[in-house]
Structure 1
Amino acid sequence: MENATGAKTSDFIVTPPLYTSAPDNENVLRIVSSGAAHPQDKESLYYLNIKAIPSVDKKALEKHEGGSLIVATLMQVKLFVRPAGLTPSREKAADKLEFTRKGANLNIHNPTPYYLTLIDIKVGTKALQDVMVPPRESVSLALPAGSGGTVSWSAIGDHGEQDKAQRIIP
């Protein structure tokens, strides 16, 4: 596990730490808090790293003439710790985003206690990079030359749904 800054953390225990996954099977990971304190006024972000290492049939490799390539993959999953009773509701959080133009940058301020992930951000017809805005913080994105005065985006919800929205930049 890693925290929001990418540093390894022991705030959670993941079991089993290693397992074999057969084709067409599912595996269940259990994630348990180790008792670390989390802020009660906003979400906390962690990253669960899952590495998939393919098994190797050594006899098949010996029969195979020439080279072979075995690739391990790493999947990173966001884990949000959300205290009970946060307001506004998570469903209304993206409506609270504030967009302002500061010189050649678009400033996005998130006044809510939630992490908000924005994709398909466009100013006019110019696409900007996807971004995750931390709770009660701002991010700044460079505006391409000739970008318009309207920003549109999709916010990713708790279940992966995309809520599209649009706003005029003041």
Structure 2
Amino acid sequence: MNTHPLHPLRAVTLALALLLASSAAMLAQASVVITGTRVIYPGDAREKTVQMTNQDAFPNVVQAWIDVGDPASTPDTAKAPFLINPAVSRMAPGSGQTLRILFTGSGLPQDRESLFYLNVLQIPPRNVAKADRNQMLVMLRNRLKLFYRPAGIPGSPEQLPEKLNFSLVQSAGGWRVRVENPTGFHASFGSATLSVGERQWTLRTSIVPPHSTAEWTAEKPAALPVGTPRLHALLINDYGARVDVRHDLPR
């Protein structure tokens, strides 16, 4: 196993990773599959493990690193307070690999989660049979949310759907849906719509950090007709499942 960083490949890696995928798309397309859609790192744990499987009929090299929220990060520029072992590994066809993640920092808030991102880059081999021809080396990158969760956060993530507050904000410039998260957990959404009668608008959702507020706008804004606005959102839980959240919003 070669554990040295792949410096000559990094420029190509970054360009291809940015062009090819968001993390959700890569989870569906990459042949190196990661178990789960997010990583929860308990603050009182010595380490967290993540399982990968190579579903290809050929070996892949996998490189992993964690960043603080920069999609353009590389192993050289990532500054997250975590150590991954192995950082680089060769996965044989049909084999599995366990990543060990260790928290190496200090000073993070203890009353709320902190958000980081786990990057897993898949580097396939060159086709030796066509070595005399030009080849394009396509690298795929998964990017998963990693939540550092201290043990002392009040409440539980299962209570999140009932703790969130939703309201309708109207002004001369239009309307928005305000989401208030009074908990110490991140609220991550898969989608959300607002409807009045038979009319419906798809909302531009965002993750709502702990003890903060976000405002969502419609993808195609239009005036609201007479009637009760009804919100339907899909909240993503620790297991990647969608949880229905429905509220009537007073005008």
TM-score by structure 1 length? 0.88
8 Å contact kept, 2:82–2:103: yes
Counterparts of 2:142 and 2:206 in 1: how far apart (Å)? 19
2:214 counterpart SS class = strand
Q: Could you report, residue by residue, the CA deviation over 1:41-86 in whole angstroms, capped at 9, with x for unpaired residues?
A: 00011101111111113x312365xx53321111111111111132
Q: Could you tell me which amino acid in structure 2 is paired with residue 82 of structure 1?
A: R
Q: What is residue 206 of structure 2 aligned with on the other side?
A: 131
Number of the residue aligned with 1:60: 129
Which ranges in structure 2 are unaligned for 5 or more consecutive residues? 1-65
2:187 is the alignment partner of 1:141: no
Q: Counterparts of 1:101 and 1:21 in 2: how far apart (Å)?
A: 50
1:2 counterpart = 2:67: yes
Q: Equivalents in 2 of 1:120, 1:29: separation in Å?
A: 30
Please state if 1:69 is matched with 2:136.
yes
Shift in CA distance, 70/28, structure 1 to aligned 2, threshold 3 Å: same
Given that 1:112 and 1:136 are in contact with CA atoms closer than 8 Å, whether structure 2 keeps it comes out as yes
Q: Distance in 2 between matches of 1:45 and 1:120?
A: 20
> Identity over the aligned pairs, expressed in percent?
28
User: What does residue 245 of structure 2 align with?
Assistant: 165
Comparing 116-125 with 2-11, which one deviates more in the overlay?
2-11
In the aligned structure 2, how far is the partner of 1:2 from the partner of 1:10? Answer: 5
Higher helix proportion (structure 1 or 2)? 2
* TM-score, length basis structure 2: 0.61
Supply the distance in 2 between the matched residues of 1:130 and 1:69 (Cα, whole angstroms). Answer: 36
Q: Which secondary structure state, in structure 1, belongs to the residue aligned with residue 94 of structure 2? A: coil
> What aligned pairs does 1:71-110 form with structure 2 within 5 A after superposition?
71-103=138-170, 104-110=175-181
Q: What amino acid maps onto 1:91 in structure 2?
A: E
Answer whether contact 2:168 2:178 (CA < 8 A) is retained: yes
SS of the equivalent of 2:207 reads strand
Secondary structure of 1:158 counterpart: coil
Structure 2 vs 1, CA of residues 60 and 105 (structure 1 numbering), >3 Å: closer, same or farther?
same
Select the structure with the greater relative contact order (CA < 8 A; seq sep ≥ 6).
2
Q: CA, structure 1 residues 20+5, in 2 after alignment: closer, same or farther (shift >3 Å)?
A: closer
Verify the 8 A CA contact 1:119 1:129 in the aligned structure 2. Answer: no
Unaligned runs of 5+ in 1: none
- CA 1:54 to 1:142, structure 2 compared with 1: closer, same or farther past 3 Å? same
Match of 1:118 among 167, 189, 192: 189
CA RMSD of aligned residues (A): 1.9
